[in-house]
Amino acid sequence: MLFSRTIRDVSGYNIRMHKLRKLLTVLAGCVFALPAALTAAHAEEYSYTDENSPIYSSDYVYLIDIDTGQVLLDHNGEDRMYPASMTKIMPVIIAIECIEEPDKTKIPITNSIVKGLYEAGATTAGFAIGDWPSVTDCLYGALLPSGADAVNALAVAVDGSIDAFVDHMNEYAGMIGMNHTHFTNATGLHDPDHYTTAEDMAKLMTYALQNETFCEILKAETYTTTSLYFHPAGIQLKSTSWPMINNGTGTYTIAGYLGGKTGFTNPAGRCLASHAEINGMHLVLITGHAYTRGHIKDASQIYNWYDANYQRTDLLGSGRLLGTVDVIDTDPEFRYEIYTGDSIARDLPKDAVITEEIEISDALYAPVEEGTFLASYAVYADGQKLYEKQYYAETAAERNFRAYVIRMTLDFYHRHRILCFIMGASLVLLVGLTAALAIDHMNRVRRRKRKKKRRRKKTKTS
């Protein structure tokens, strides 16, 4: 990473006069480190050019660093799309949060749970009517093989019916901020009124990844259920994505892949909501409406592109001193110190040139009111402004009258030295002349007194 720095100091204060004033006023010279109030700060995203973008075939792509909230790729991310079985992420996270002791809680598989799934061509985990899988079995059954039977079982366990659970899903969507999403079922089977966006799916995935149980299930390649009535040895469940990735049977290598939820219907195409950790950075990628294995290939292209070309960069450095603003006419001397706040990170190209621009205000003259502008700070990557922050005084600075008078006197002297010299010389001359006249007057008085004394003596003698 290449760094350069541009600092512009717009102070117009006369340093020599300042030092002379400090000497004459015999100030202690102590510095009060006063906080500056942040009243305007914002960060912007780095704009990726076509030259350094990855190749992908999906019609919808949304890549985000969930640690910083930085959107790294956005292709039709706000456009309506069909989520297919990516929908199942929502029932799983709701069930995890709503059902206590999932290993001990059993769910009966009934006709209402599996009704219509096979006719609709839905993927199932393989539970049969009469089985009593645990909630944990159904959680794995929903995420790994994308079992619609497992999802419906979770829906009934949480809310008593699938319809009530779908309402629950829409309430959760509103809570998470999925403002362009609407669910009509829990499985993701196609319905024109069952839709979302890639951005909304990223919000759902980000929310779900905060739960350790969800993360553990998502990264599992296989899972064997507990013993069931029609499956005494349990059912071995396999992930729909892992066999095509890394150590599976497939040919696609994905840097840092931690699991994902696939989806497919003819209108939705091939979809994937996935998670990867690259160089300590947690990424979520949503892709939608790709063709055969295009969702896995796109994930491989995008994650590997990021791994090869980008890294997280600390832009500020926490608590770094940017500069100071002196306040004149205070006693003891008053100073505002400008610091960066918490460290801010951004995902940037590894060869990006980082520059920063700092503007420090002129030295201020007391009194200084709260809210007075002190400084501004901006950071750029390859000429693009990524961060800007402005500082204003949090604390007022009062004027010290003695310091003010001394400073004004010295200021007048330095601006009018010749006049001061003439006035001083005139004053010395006037004082000298006055003293000479006074002395002459005193001598005359003494002489008159001596003359009078001699006359009185002559008068007495005669």
Mean pLDDT of the chain: 85
Provide the pLDDT for residue 264: 96
pLDDT band for position 420 (cuts 50, 70, 90)? low
pLDDT tens for 425-457 read 788 888 888 888 888 888 888 888 887 777 777
Of the candidate ranges 29-33, 225-229, 276-280, 291-295, the one whose mean pLDDT is the lowest? 29-33
Asked whether residue 246 carries a pLDDT value surpassing 80, the answer given is no
- pLDDT computed for residue 253 by the predictor: 87
- Mean pLDDT computed over 215-232: 95
Read off the amino acid at residue 104: K
Say which range, 93-102, 165-174, 180-189, 399-408, has the weakest mean pLDDT: 399-408
- pLDDT of 112 > 90? The answer is yes
Question: For 26-52, what is the mean pLDDT?
Answer: 50
Using CA atoms, how far apart are residues 190 and 277, in angstroms rounded to an integer?
Answer: 31
Q: For the segment 371-381, what is each residue's pLDDT rounded down to a tens digit?
A: 999 999 999 98
pLDDT given at position 22: 37
Cα(460)–Cα(282) distance, integer angstroms: 124
Among the listed ranges 144-158, 183-197, 298-312, 445-459, which one has the minimum average pLDDT value?
A: 445-459
Strand order through the sheet with 321-328: 33-34, 334-339, 321-328, 364-365
Please say if the pLDDT value at position 97 is more than 70: yes
What pLDDT band is residue 68 in, cutting at 50, 70 and 90?
confident
Q: Assess contact for 225 and 140: CB atoms under 8 A.
A: yes
pLDDT at 386: 87
What pLDDT sits at residue 452?
A: 78
From residue 388, give the alpha-carbon distance in Å to each of 38, 64, 65, 317. Answer: 11, 22, 21, 14
**Fold assignment, 58-290:** Beta-lactamase (3.40.710)
> Using alpha carbons only, how large is the chain's radius of gyration in Å?
40
Strand partners of residue 346: 313
pLDDT surpassing 70 at residue 127: yes
For range 331-338, the mean pLDDT:
84
Residue 435 is predicted with a pLDDT of 84
Model confidence at 4, pLDDT cuts 50, 70, 90, reads very low
Render 172-238 in DSSP notation, one character per residue. HHHHHT-TT-B-S-SS----TT-BB-HHHHHHHHHHHTTSHHHHHHHT-SEEEPPP-SS-TT--EEE
Where are the domains positioned within the chain? Answer: 2-46+315-400, 58-290, 416-461
| Residue 142, φ and ψ in degrees, nearest 5 | -80, -40
pLDDT > 50? residue 3: no
Residue 24 pLDDT grade (very low, low, confident, very high; cuts 50, 70, 90): very low
pLDDT in tens, 136-182: 999 999 999 999 999 999 999 999 999 999 999 999 999 999 999 99
In the predicted model, what is the mean pLDDT of residues 410-423? 70
* pLDDT at 55 exceeding the cut of 70: yes
> Average pLDDT, stretch 265-273?
97
pLDDT band at 247 (very low <50, low <70, confident <90, very high): low
Rank 284-293, 381-390, 438-447 by mean pLDDT and report only the highest: 284-293
Give how far Cα 362 sits from Cα of 324, 366, 369, Å.
10, 13, 15
pLDDT of residue 370: 92
Q: What pLDDT, on a 0 to 100 scale, did the predictor assign at position 209?
A: 97
Least Cα distance to 83 among 200, 214, 219 occurs for 200
* pLDDT of 12 over the 50 cut: no
What pLDDT does 215 receive? Answer: 97
pLDDT above 70 for 32: no
Structure tokens at 218: 């998502």
Distance CA 40, CA 387 (A): 11
Q: What integer pLDDT is reported at residue 280 of this predicted model?
A: 83
Evaluate whether 131 touches 191 at the Cβ level (below 8 Å): no
* Beta strands per DSSP E along 226-320: 236-238, 257-265, 269-278, 281-290, 310-314
CA distance 218 to 206: 13
Residue whose pair of structure tokens reads 């003293």 in the numeric block = 435
Mean pLDDT of 232-254: 83
Supply the DSSP symbol for 49.
Answer: P
For the chain, the straight-line distance linking the first and the last C-alpha, in angstroms and rounded, comes to: 118
